[in-house]
Amino acid sequence: MSNSVKVALVIGAGVATGGSVAKRFASEGFIACMARRKGDRLEDLVSQIEAEGGKAFGYSCDATQEDQVVGLIEKIESEVGPIEVACYNAAIGAAHSIMDFPAEDYERVWRVNTFGAFLMGREVSKRMNERGRGTILFTGATSALRGKSHLAAFAGSKHALRALTESMARELFPKNIHVAHIIIDGPIDTPLIRRMSPKIFEDRPADGVLNPDDIAETYWTIHCQPRSAWLSETTLRPWLEPW
């Protein structure tokens, strides 16, 4: 294994933010290691990165299962290379009145949005601490800052993710490990959002919706920051987004 090999791990890679983050780091010479629950859905993304001259691998991993996350990171570290950058982008939501919110839905949202992030953060920070360097990035949301009716699970999990990130940053900054929380405040241009909310794209100009590639540029910039001026949190929103 070459000492020059650098790996960027993205858990929760797909057609939007996670995939764009993987592509951005791959364009800078990182090996993009991408994971999602159904890894076969990463085949197109792997092919796209390789067609553009990069190197990538796709993995199946349920981020809510400790043994799978531990195994994934061990496999990458032993077979591909050192994880220099780790990004947790997995997230789900559920909308119910608090009066009849199914417990299993609440727990599932927390497990994907927060517990999986904890597992990844714990495992990669061990390796980064041994090497004395690293970057850990977590994708947040508006719900990290305020709750909303019917979104108790999503808001609670995203609040918890923000607290996890801040706690990690306070511990790991002095160990030369950069930890940052990126709050995404606004609609992202994805196939799902286009199907669910087509009016957004009818009413706004093209740059009135968050572009996944532009989001990824911020992730890259955070990784490149000099440690005399590291940020621990930032918020991204379209120029016309109300807030």
Backbone phi, psi, residue 33, to 5° = -105, 115
Round the average pLDDT of the chain to a whole number and report it.
Answer: 96
Instruction: Indicate whether 155 belongs to any domain.
Output: yes
Instruction: Indicate whether 177 belongs to any domain.
Output: yes
196 contacts: CB under 8 Å, gap ≥ 6: none
- pLDDT tens figures, 55-101: 999 999 999 999 999 999 999 999 999 999 999 999 999 999 999 99
Average pLDDT, integer, range 153-170: 98
Instruction: Indicate whether 204 belongs to any domain.
Output: no
Pairing between β-strand 83-88 and β-strand 31-36 as defined by DSSP bridges: unpaired
Instruction: Indicate whether 134 belongs to any domain.
Output: yes
Average pLDDT, integer, range 216-221: 98
Degrees to nearest 5, angle at CA 197 with 215 and 212:
10
Instruction: Indicate whether 206 belongs to any domain.
Output: no
Instruction: Indicate whether 1 belongs to any domain.
Output: no
Name the one residue in this structure whose structure tokens are 């364009």.
27
Alpha helices of the chain — where are they, by DSSP H?
A: 17-26, 43-51, 66-79, 103-110, 116-131, 152-172, 191-196, 198-203, 212-224
Per-residue pLDDT for 215 more than 80? yes
Q: Model-level pTM?
A: 0.95
- DSSP-assigned letter for residue 221: H
Instruction: Indicate whether 202 belongs to any domain.
Output: no
CATH at 124: 3.40.50.720
Of all residues in the chain, what percent carry a pLDDT higher than 70? 99
pLDDT of residue 15: 87
Segments forming the whole domain that contains residue 182 = 7-186+216-236
Degrees to nearest 5, angle at CA 14 with 169 and 227:
25
pLDDT of residue 3: 60
Q: Supply 197's token pair.
A: 């909310």
Q: How many domains does the chain have?
A: 1
Average pLDDT, integer, range 216-237: 98
Q: How confident is the model at residue 185 (pLDDT cuts 50, 70, 90)?
A: very high
Instruction: Indicate whether 203 belongs to any domain.
Output: no
